[in-house]
Amino acid sequence: MLTPITLRYTLTPRRHSLATAVVADQFGLPEHAVEYTVCENLQLDIQPADVVLFVGPSGSGKTSLLRAVAEQLHALDVASQLLPELPLIDALPGAIDERLAILAACGLSEARLLLRTPQELSEGERYRFRLGWGFATAPAATPERPPFLAADEFTATLDRTVAKCVAFNARKWVARTGVGLLAATTHDDILDDLAPDVVVRCRGDGDVSVERRRRQRRSISLARELWLSEGSLRDWPYFARWHYRGQRLAFVKRVVMLWHGDEPVGICVFATPAASLSLRSWFFGLKSPRSPLALAALNEQLWWLQRVVLHPIYRGVGIAAAFVRRACELCPVDWIETLSAMGHSNPVFERAGFVRVGVIPRTGQCGQFGPRGTMASATTVKSDFSNPVYYLFDNRRRADRPAANP
Report DSSP letters for 38-66, one per residue.
EEEEE-----TT-EEEEE--TTSSHHHHH
User: What does the pLDDT average to over 337-341?
Assistant: 91
pLDDT band, very low/low/confident/very high, at 376 (cuts 50, 70, 90): very low
pLDDT digits (tens, 9 = 90+) for 240-251: 988 866 567 889
Please state the rounded mean pLDDT for residues 189-202: 95
The structural domains of the chain, ordered by start, are 45-218 (3.40.50.300), 222-400 (3.40.630.30)
Give the model's pLDDT for residue 371: 38
| Local structure of residue 144 (DSSP, 8 states) | S
**Which secondary structure element, helix H or strand E, spans residue 258, and what is its range?**
strand 252-260
- Taking 80 as the threshold, does the pLDDT of residue 88 lie above it? yes
As to burial, measured by CB atoms within 10 angstroms (0-12 exposed, 13-18 middle, 19+ buried), residue 350 is: middle
Q: Which residues contact 259 (CB under 8 A, 6 or more apart)?
A: 226, 227, 228, 229, 265
Helices (H), 1-139: 18-27, 62-73, 88-91, 96-105, 111-114, 123-137
pLDDT at 374: 41
Cα–Cα distance, 108 to 103 (Å, whole number): 5
Cα(311)–Cα(258) distance, rounded to whole angstroms?
10
Compute the mean pLDDT over every residue in the chain, rounded to the nearest whole number: 86
Nearest-CA neighbor of 38 among 204, 175, 241? 204
More confident position, 247 or 149: 149
pLDDT band per the 50, 70, 90 thresholds, residue 102: confident
Contact between residue 42 and residue 5 where contact means Cβ atoms under 8 Å apart? yes
Can you say whether residue 152 is alpha, beta or left, with left for phi > 0 and alpha for psi between -120 and 50 degrees?
Answer: beta
pTM: 0.81
Look at residue 162 and tell me whether its pLDDT is greater than 80: yes
- Give the whole-angstrom CA distance, residue 30 versus residue 48: 45
Q: Mean per-residue pLDDT for 1-28?
A: 81
What strands, in cross-sheet order, belong to the sheet with 76-77?
76-77, 148-151, 180-185, 51-55, 198-202, 208-212
> What pLDDT is attached to residue 385?
54
